[in-house]
């Protein structure tokens, strides 16, 4: 197997991981930043104040983009499985 094919497969896997995890991580980053600013401004250092909004946003993001990411992931896996015979020979 050529190294170019291996590099292409690794690139596609990393790209798929970024596409699947990116929206969730960005939403949690924004919520964490806002909560951190509010905690710093009000001097409230309770850990549950930061945890509960992040949990709620995580659930909302999963409900909203879950079906789309599931379709993207299944299409990627189908393509990967279809390429296996060509990679082996």
Position 89 pLDDT exceeds 80? no
CA 61 and chain centroid, separation? 10
pLDDT given for residue 1 in this prediction: 66
Distance CA 55, CA 47 (A): 13
26-77 pLDDT, tens digit each: 999 999 999 999 988 888 878 788 889 999 999 999 999 999 999 999 999 9
CA angle 31, 37, 62 (to 5 degrees): 5
Q: What is the pLDDT of residue 44?
A: 81
User: pTM above 0.85?
Assistant: no
Span 12-29, average pLDDT: 94
Which stretch, 2-6, 59-63, 85-89, has highest mean pLDDT? 59-63
């Amino acid at each position: 197997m050529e190294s170019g094919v291996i590099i292409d497969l690794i690139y596609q896997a990393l790209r798929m991981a970024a596409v699947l995890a990116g929206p969730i991580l960005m939403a949690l980053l924004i919520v964490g930043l806002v909560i951190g600013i509010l905690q710093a401004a009000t001097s409230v250092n309770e850990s549950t104040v930061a945890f509960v909004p992040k949990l709620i946003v995580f659930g909302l993001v999963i409900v909203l983009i879950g079906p789309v990411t599931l379709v993207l992931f299944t299409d990627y896996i189908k393509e990967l499985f279809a390429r296996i015979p060509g990679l082996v020979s």
